[in-house]
Amino acid sequence: MKFQLNTIPAGIPTWFIARQHRFTTNTHWRNGVLFADTPEQKHLALVQAFPHERYLQLTVRGAYPLNFFVLLKDGIEKTLERFPGLQIQRKIPCLGHNGKPCPHEFDYEQVQKRLQKQKHTIECPEATEDEDVSVTALLQGLYWTKQDAVLDSLNDLKNKVDKGNDDIKNKLDNLLELTQREFTNAFRREQSKIDSHCPNVFVLRPHGSKVWQRNITGQKLDLQLYCQAAGCWHPTQEGGLYEINEPAEWLRVTAPYISRLFRILKYAAPIVGPWLGVVNPKEYETLFKNDLELFKELATKLPELKESKDLELADKIARGEDLDPERSDGAALRALRQLLDEKDPQQHWGGLKNILTPEGHYLWLCEHHAAEYKR
């Protein structure tokens, strides 16, 4: 991806290189850097500044580069925010035609607008034949409000992984990390507000029971907070479990958010690691799978709330529509914050700490995963 600028201010790309130091390969120079996402260097990223041509360029290579690409793109965007008034034109390279590369670059904002107008292809002026380019393919992973393509890929990969395939599993892990991170990032503006600033990944369990009653609004619930480490969501180990005695109104307000959360959480896996402490791995895996199964059953019952006063929102859930996070989820996050303050006035929240990452993402992390950003 290319970031065409009206000028290259001092501090670009050096400030970006410093912020992304956790990806260092110790290979950097005045106008560029080579990053890797893991010590094994499964994916490499080259970021270069061209002062005379006044642009930055981000290129990522590897088996499944999308996740690392989007993470570093967010880091560049955060860097550019330091320079008010900077004119930025973002360009996406053409996908090529008939297996051959193409020199054309599409304007990112124009491609976005085309998708917003429900137009799914765009013409490339370099194409020798009448061959349009897929807008969805150009924007995959870059335009999160249209996440169906990524979720469909996750679902397809999960089915293949169940049959046993390490290569496919690696791709699934990368897409899962991307999906979970972008889900939490979607609520960045709401999470920066005092009245909705709280952990926002959780599961719901029937209190004192292993099954849901027919009428879920009349059943007590347990809310279990999860650590939001991208690609490694897991329940908190000490605390973070709260009883909801009268869930009817709370569910009506949070139902749209819960529906969105389940679409992501259902792809999570019980990954064992040092963050589990002394928990028996087998017991943890059983607990995790039970959480997902119960959450799945709850999600199927959410459309029943269409009889409530929140008819419009519930109808959207029933139709499976995506909801604007700033409209529907703002109220849900405020209701969640109010509940957590009532149940946990000391704001221990299962030991989760709020971390603002170098890419500008708010993540609520356990002590182990928070330490990765404090080195």
pLDDT digits (tens, 9 = 90+) for 184-228: 887 777 777 777 789 999 999 999 888 888 878 788 999 999 999
pLDDT over threshold 80, residue 109: yes
- Convert the chain into a string of H (helix), E (strand) and C (coil): CEEEECCCCCCCCHHHHHHCHHHEEEEEECCEEEEECCCCCCEEEEEEEECCCCEEEEEEEECCCHHHHHHHHHHHHHHHCCCCCCCEEEEEECCCECCECCCCEEEHHHHHHHHHCCCCEEECCCCCCCCEEEHHHHHCCCCCCCCHHHHHHHHHHHHHHCCCCHHHHHHHHHHHHHHHHHHHHCCHHHHCCHHHCCCCCEEEEECCCCCCCCCHHHCCEEEEEEECCCCCCEECCCCCEEEECCHHHHHHHHHHHHHHHHHHHCCCCCCCCHHHCCCCHHHHHHHHHHHHHHHHHHHHHHHHHHHCCCHHHHHHHHCCCCCCHHHHHHHHHHHHHHHHHHHCCCCCHHHCEEEECCCCCEEEECHHHHHCCCC
| Tens-digit pLDDT profile for residues 18-46 | 989 999 999 999 899 999 998 888 899 99
Quickly state the pLDDT bin for 325 (edges 50, 70, 90): very low
Domains along the chain with CATH numbers: 2-139 (3.30.310.200), 148-180 (no CATH), 189-371 (no CATH)
Per-residue model confidence (pLDDT) at position 319: 47
- What is the reported pTM? 0.79
Determine the average pLDDT of the residues in 177-182: 85
